[in-house]
Structure 1
Amino acid sequence: MKNYFIALLSFLCLNAFSQEHYSGISTSNRVGILNTTINPAELPNLSKKFEINITGFSFGVSNNKIAFSDFNSDTDFETLLFQGTSPVNARIDADIIGPGFAMRWNKWGFAFTTKAYAKFDMVDVDPTIGNAITNDNLILNTTLLNNPNNQRLSGTSYGEIGLSAGRVLYQNDNHQFSAGVTLKILFPGSYSNFGLSQLDGTITQSLGNAYLTTNSPANLNIAYSGNLAESFTNFDDYSKSIFGGLNGFAGDIGFNYHYKSTLNAGLSIRNIGSMTFKDENNYNTNYTLNIPNSDPLDLSLFDNVDNLSQVEQILLDNNYLSKDEPEKKEFKVKLPTTITTYVDYKIVPKVFVTAFLQQKLNDDSENEQVTAPNIFSITPRVNLGFFEGYIPVTFHEISGTNIGLGFRLGGFYLGTSSLVTALISDSKQGDLYMGFRWGFL
């Protein structure tokens, strides 16, 4: 298990890149495929009659503990990540847009898109447990744990093909209303989950090691599929099996209102659906965890662990686990359903400002659930036609306030939602995205 935390720290330190993918450019009034992934009702508003997406990617990390200024600190990153008493939350999130095509025809718009995702999450992890596992020289007195939340360590990779259509429903000289839908065909790749809830216990120090006991039984979910059955510390394992077999469907539905060339507003519900993981390595089991005072768990046993089956075997060998139900060889994982709304307003010719809100509808702490952050952003922009520049100001539920920078030059775009904050302040987030699409006619 210690290797798991070290792997996470290496991502935080070496890939300080977050989770509002394509912040700023996805709500540009130069409407293209990126806009339609946020709201399929934007399809009839395509700036060009045809658009081909060549490539696009966004990669990010956000957390609530380690800031950019900590890179100059002599303190170990393990200590920084698990400092304080508040639960640790961290996200690593990659979004890749593959080849796609969109077109506008009369009052209709259509699109074909391909995407891939890789996610790695820590949700509400107790910092005391993290310290006890990662710090070989931990010195502490008896520490009481009482965390009813579900502490999750989870990873997911999957691909999708999207088929979208949008149509203008009403139009006059001043107003336009449109609606759109997207059907997503899902290809689940890999999955892992360690979910520990209702933990009421004690950590004690003895002879240089930390020991855990439970005052009452806790609930434990262990699940894995695909490459993550063998290891969850190597990010390459996520990318090797992003596209699995066709085993899931999801959908988006959206609405759009356009007032002359002054205001553009949209509302969409995205990722309504789930995917089923089917693999010969599949495993999903709910346990009761009970560690008596007479036989405490030595947390140093997890020092060299790098997969969930090893964690499970250690707990089983010491008779700490009892099954609540039979193991599952097939299981469903829900996508992160969100409500998205935005308003883009022209202040003066060529100068615009966009307000964007993303609100998740599901609970990140639930097992068999892909996570999503709550986000609100304000983005002022200058659009000169061939060139567009913008400064997204984002309020992220995990990492706080961040300021970024981005630009579009023709069909090429490059940006970040956190660079400015990282340079002048104490950002706990970093991200980078870029891509190229070609619109014509």
Structure 2
Amino acid sequence: MKSLIALPILLLLPILATAQHSYVGIQNSTRKSMVSVMMNPAEINNFDRKVEVNFVGVNALFVNNILSFSDLTSIQENLLEDLMSKANTQVNGDTHGSALLPSFGINLGKWSLGWANQFNSRVALHQINPDLGNSVIRSASASGGTTYQLSNPNNQRVNGVMWFESGIVVGRELINNANSKLSVGSNIKILVPVNYTNVGVSQLSGTLTVQNGVASLSNASGTMNLTYNRDIIDARNLRLDYSNLEINSPSSVGLDFGVNYQAKKNGKVWINSGISVTNIGNLKFGTSNVSNNLRINIPAGSSFRIDRFDLDLENTLDQLTGSGFFTLDDTQENIQVGLPTTFALYSEIKLTDQFFVSAFWQQMVKNQDKNNQVPFVNVFAVTPSMLFGKFEVFSPWGYFQISELTGGLGFRYGGFFLSSQTVLTSLLANRGTADVQMGLSWGFGQRRQ
């Protein structure tokens, strides 16, 4: 069962270098780039120069509600085991990131066009019961006997996803005069799914007993979902076979759209605000990805061991259905997985020629409990920044849905930036969040007015 919980993490971490999340801080910089366009496609109308080229952008974040920063740095082996053993509340965690690949935008008068390429990946733990998680993971080393009464109406999920997207960005100025500028933009994206894994247990009630290294569930009911890529699991030797992992063909279309408004004073922008909705659409996987839904019914007086499963989820499925306690309701191929559709609202204010402050709010608009839904971490952030010519220093302060308060620091010189949304609170307040953001872009051509 430990393998069941750890599987999405094992599937992604070997190739996880960077799911998509905002570049909090730098995306609201005074210098607009393709990073800003990923937040709101209408920002393609606000580049300083005629052409803007993004060479690379990396954003990686780990956030959780249990472990502190010192815990993260001191863990030598099993992060998942430490996470469960220290928990006294539902466990939530998210490891995600994005790699913004070579992309560009160009201004053509009132119109602007661009091409944006991005790779996304995510591993998430969602509302895991600590008694269940800790007992399952640590049952092999447990001694004596412990009994837990489980009653969890929510869907406890372990989830992993990877996909690539390539989009055509179109922007249009609607109004542009000495006092204001109003523009719109959209990013129409071709989606290329790579992998999706989900283990979900919903409406679970029952008795969990850990006795001398054996974890058993009895008098239990609920539902269970197992979604995985059959081509990755090598049933012959119970290992992950990445030689079979292939990028699927483009399967569907996604959409971002946004509106941007600028207020000007003496021809200079002093307020830049926007609204956007991003990641509208679904990832459509082929026949290699399969979703199995089961009903759990373990009557009183009977028990089922949950500590003997392995990485071969098809073998695990056979064990579950063969026990007589798990009934397979349906199996689906060609599954569709909802993208993390989010709503964002932001405003950037120029207080002096050198001092700026921005506020940014991003909220997911879909139900994160669904097994066929990529989850997301909501965030609100305020970022003061100081500008000295081409050099900018900024400090994003945010409230993340999982880890709450974060504070970071970053700098930009021209088109190069390096920052962290969390470094200050991680080091000074020992918060359990860590991240890094880095990128390089360059503007070419005539400077725009």
TM-score (norm 2): 0.89
1:152 aligned onto 2:157: yes
What is the CA-CA distance between 1:156 and the residue it aligns to? 0.6
1:177 aligned onto 2:182: yes
Superposed CA deviations along residues 8-36 of structure 1, whole A, max 9, x for unmatched, are 59999xx9999744221111120111111
1:48 aligns with 49
The 1:236/1:397 distance shift into structure 2, 3 A limit, reads farther
1:271 aligned onto 2:279: yes
SS across alignment from 1:150: strand
CA distance in 1, matches of 2:440, 2:241: 25
1:404 aligns with 408
What is the CA-CA distance between 1:132 and the residue it aligns to? 1.2
Q: Do the aligned residues in 2 keep the contact of 1:393 with 1:402 (CA within 8 Å)? A: yes
Q: Do the aligned residues in 2 keep the contact of 1:18 with 1:61 (CA within 8 Å)? A: no
1:291 aligns with 298
Paired residue type of 1:50: V
Superposed CA deviations along residues 119-177 of structure 1, whole A, max 9, x for unmatched, are 11111111111111111233553210000101111111110001111111112211111
Q: Do the aligned residues in 2 keep the contact of 1:374 with 1:396 (CA within 8 Å)? A: yes
CA distance in 1, matches of 2:422, 2:19: 8
1:36 aligns with 37
1:203 aligned onto 2:208: yes
SS across alignment from 1:319: coil
2:390 aligns with 386
The 1:277/1:75 distance shift into structure 2, 3 A limit, reads closer
The 1:76/1:251 distance shift into structure 2, 3 A limit, reads closer
1:213 aligned onto 2:224: no
What is the CA-CA distance between 1:208 and the residue it aligns to? 3.5
SS across alignment from 1:23: coil
Q: How does 1:225-304 map to 2 (within 5 A)?
A: 225=229, 229=233, 241=246, 243-260=247-264, 261-279=269-287, 281-302=288-309
Q: Do the aligned residues in 2 keep the contact of 1:176 with 1:257 (CA within 8 Å)? A: yes
The answer to which of 150-159 and 312-321 deviates more is 312-321
Paired residue type of 1:296: S
Paired residue type of 2:47: L
TM-score (norm 1): 0.91
Task: Could you tell me which runs of 5 or more consecutive residues in structure 2 were left unpaired when the two chains were aligned.
Answer: none
2:442 aligns with 438
The 1:199/1:6 distance shift into structure 2, 3 A limit, reads closer
What is the CA-CA distance between 1:83 and the residue it aligns to? 3.2
The 1:335/1:323 distance shift into structure 2, 3 A limit, reads same
The 1:345/1:436 distance shift into structure 2, 3 A limit, reads same
CA distance in 2, matches of 1:52, 1:58: 18
SS across alignment from 1:148: strand
SS across alignment from 1:365: coil
CA distance in 1, matches of 2:407, 2:239: 30
Paired residue type of 1:170: I
CA distance in 1, matches of 2:202, 2:110: 51
What is the count of residue pairs matched by the alignment? 432
Q: 1:113 aligns with which of 111, 116, 119?
A: 116
CA distance in 2, matches of 1:437, 1:58: 15
1:187 aligns with 192
Q: Do the aligned residues in 2 keep the contact of 1:201 with 1:212 (CA within 8 Å)? A: yes
1:123 aligned onto 2:120: no
The 1:329/1:236 distance shift into structure 2, 3 A limit, reads closer
CA distance in 1, matches of 2:121, 2:150: 32
CA distance in 1, matches of 2:279, 2:422: 25
Q: Do the aligned residues in 2 keep the contact of 1:107 with 1:168 (CA within 8 Å)? A: yes
Q: Do the aligned residues in 2 keep the contact of 1:190 with 1:227 (CA within 8 Å)? A: no
Paired residue type of 2:383: T
CA distance in 2, matches of 1:69, 1:97: 30
SS across alignment from 2:283: strand
CA distance in 2, matches of 1:80, 1:224: 24
Percent identity of paired positions between Structure 1 and Structure 2: 32
CA distance in 2, matches of 1:403, 1:238: 40
Q: Do the aligned residues in 1 keep the contact of 2:207 with 2:219 (CA within 8 Å)? A: yes
Superposed CA deviations along residues 153-210 of structure 1, whole A, max 9, x for unmatched, are 1111110001111111112211111111110110011111111101011111334422
Q: Do the aligned residues in 1 keep the contact of 2:20 with 2:121 (CA within 8 Å)? A: no
